[in-house]
C-alpha cells in the first residue's frame, strides 16, 4: 500500500522535488548508498547541492581502486558534507583471510559470495538499519534483470522502500548531467570501466561486451550479482 501511495504523491515531481519530499516525509530515515560511479556522483550532487537532508554512505570494502578513493576525497572537498563509510567487521574479515587467503574469491562462486557478504552485504545491513527509504543509483538499462524493476520498490530482505531517482535516465543522460554541472567522476569510466567495484574484481569492458562483463569476469554471466540489490535476501539467507 505504501508504494502505491508514494507513487501517487511523487507523480509529476522533478527528481530534486521527489528527493525533498521523501526526506521531509521520512525525516532522518532516508539514506543514499554511493560507490562513486557516474550515477552515484550525479545523485550525490543532487542531494548535496540542494541541501537535501539525506544521509550519504559508502561501503568501504578495503579493496577499492585508487581512483575511487580520489573521487571520494574530492567529493568531500567540493561539497564539505559527510559521506559515512561502513567497514567489514574485523572478526569476519580476519577469519576469512586467515582461513582462505586474501584472494579466495577467484576459486569459486561460493567463496566470492562469501567475500561479498563480509565486505558489502553485512555492512550494508548495518547502514540501512533503522531507515525507511534507501536511495540508489540503479538505472533500468544497466542489466537485463533490472528491466523488470521500477523506480519505487519494496525490499523484503531489508524491510524498507528502495527509490531509484534516475531509473529512467540513459547513460548519455547521466554523462550530460555530469558535464553540465562539472561533477567530479571516476576517471576509470573513460578507460572502459562502466561499472567499478573492488580492484581485484573489476576490469575494463571490451567493445561489444555486456555492461557488467568487467565485474567478476571469471564467472558465468548469470551469476554476476553481488547481492546488494535484487538478490540481497538470497545472499543473506545462504550465509545463515
Domain boundaries, the chain: 2-239
The predicted pLDDT at position 231 comes to: 40
Q: How many whole angstroms separate alpha carbon 19 and alpha carbon 42?
A: 13
CA-based nearest residue to 83, from 95, 73, 96: 73
Q: Are 43 and 135 in contact (CB under 8 A)?
A: yes
- How many residues in the chain? 240
**How far is Cα of residue 216 from the mean position of the Cα atoms in its chain?**
16
Residues catalogued as catalytic: 226
Q: In the prediction, which pLDDT does 234 show?
A: 36
Q: Residue 145's CB: how many other CB atoms inside 10 A?
A: 13
Residue in 84, 72, 86 with CA at minimum distance from that of residue 125: 86
182: its cell numbers:
562539472
Q: Give the pLDDT score at 237.
A: 32
Comparing C-alpha atoms, which of 212, 209, 233, 237 is closest to residue 223? 212
Q: pLDDT tens digits for the chain (240 residues)?
A: 589 999 999 999 999 999 999 999 999 999 999 999 999 999 999 999 999 999 999 999 999 999 999 999 999 999 999 999 999 999 999 999 999 999 999 999 999 999 999 999 999 999 999 999 999 999 988 756 655 678 999 999 999 999 999 999 999 999 999 999 999 999 999 999 998 999 999 999 988 888 778 889 888 765 555 556 544 333 333 333
The confidence score (pLDDT) of residue 157 equals 93
The pLDDT assigned to 239 comes to 34
CATH superfamily of 2-239: HUPs (3.40.50.620)
Strand partners, 85: 58
pTM assigned to the model? 0.89
Return the number of other C-beta atoms located less than 10 Å from residue 133's C-beta.
21
The pLDDT value recorded for residue 240 is 32
Amino acid at each position: 500500500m505504501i508504494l502505491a501511495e508514494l507513487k501517487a504523491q511523487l507523480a509529476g515531481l522533478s527528481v530534486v522535488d521527489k528527493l525533498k519530499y521523501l526526506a521531509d516525509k521520512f525525516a532522518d530515515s532516508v539514506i543514499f548508498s554511493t560507490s562513486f560511479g557516474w550515477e552515484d556522483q550525479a545523485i550525490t550532487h543532487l542531494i548535496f547541492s540542494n541541501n537535501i537532508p539525506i544521509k550519504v554512505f559508502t561501503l568501504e570494502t578495503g579493496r577499492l581502486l585508487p581512483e575511487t578513493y580520489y573521487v571520494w576525497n574530492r567529493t568531500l572537498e567540493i561539497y564539505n558534507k559527510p559521506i559515512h563509510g561502513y567497514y567489514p567487521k574485523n572478526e569476519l574479515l580476519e577469519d576469512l583471510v586467515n582461513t582462505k587467503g586474501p584472494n579466495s574469491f577467484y576459486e569459486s562462486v561460493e567463496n566470492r559470495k562469501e567475500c561479498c557478504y563480509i565486505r558489502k552485504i553485512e555492512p550494508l545491513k548495518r547502514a540501512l538499519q533503522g531507515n525507511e527509504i534507501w536511495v540508489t543509483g540503479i538505472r533500468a538499462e544497466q542489466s537485463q534483470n533490472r528491466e523488470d524493476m521500477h523506480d519505487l520498490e519494496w525490499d523484503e530482505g531489508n524491510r524498507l522502500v528502495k527509490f531509484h531517482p534516475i531509473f529512467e535516465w540513459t547513460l548519455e543522460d547521466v554523462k550530460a548531467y555530469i558535464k553540465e554541472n562539472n561533477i567530479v567522476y571516476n576517471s576509470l569510466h573513460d578507460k572502459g570501466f562502466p561499472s567499478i567495484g573492488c580492484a581485484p574484481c573489476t576490469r575494463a569492458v571490451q567493445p561489444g561486451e555486456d555492461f557488467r562483463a568487467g565485474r567478476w569476469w571469471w564467472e558465468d554471466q548469470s551469476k554476476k550479482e553481488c547481492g546488494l540489490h535484487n538478490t540481497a535476501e538470497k545472499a543473506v539467507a545462504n550465509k545463515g
